[in-house]
Amino acid sequence: MPKTLIIRPKRRAFPGRPDQIAHARDFTRRVLGRCPVLDEAVLLVSELATNAIEHTATADGGSFHVTIYKGGSSLLIAVTDDGSDSFPMLGQQTDTLAETGRGLKLVELIADRWDYCGDGHGRTVRFELSWKQSESG
């Protein structure tokens, strides 16, 4: 039997501080529960929350929001920040041991689709993950 699409998304705001990234991961785990792509979703939320804090106005006393839409065989997660004059770009990191520059590359590699919209006043980066209905336990 297919699971019902969550009509109302689950959304939470987090202060723009590095310690809030762990809270965003926990929020994602709680909302998704036993989801076949839980680990992937948590990883990508962590990457996008980190990007929001490191590369946008969010860290200057702002906040970021995580919004989760979950259906029977897919989910869409959006991370909204306080914006930046620069655009999200795939890192050109060539050092395989580097600890930075991989966030959007991971999103591109793992997500079925991803995109962004916004500007210096606010931006949303979103990704979609899907799974076969028989995997949804």
Q: Supply the DSSP symbol for 135.
A: G
**pLDDT of res. 26:** 98
Residue 8 is predicted with a pLDDT of 82
pTM of the entire predicted model: 0.85
Q: What is the pLDDT of residue 115?
A: 95
Q: Which residues of the chain have pLDDT under 50?
A: 1, 94-99
Residue 77 CA to residue 44 CA, distance in Å, equals 9
The reported pLDDT for the residue numbered 35 is: 96
Q: How far apart are CA 48 and CA 45, in angstroms?
A: 5
Predicted local distance difference test score (pLDDT) of residue 88: 65
Whole-angstrom Cα distance, residue 65 to residue 99?
Answer: 24
CATH class of 10-135: alpha beta
Stated as kind and residue range, the H or E segment containing 69 is: strand 63-70
Domain ranges of the chain: 10-135
> Strands 122-130 and 74-81, how do they pair?
antiparallel
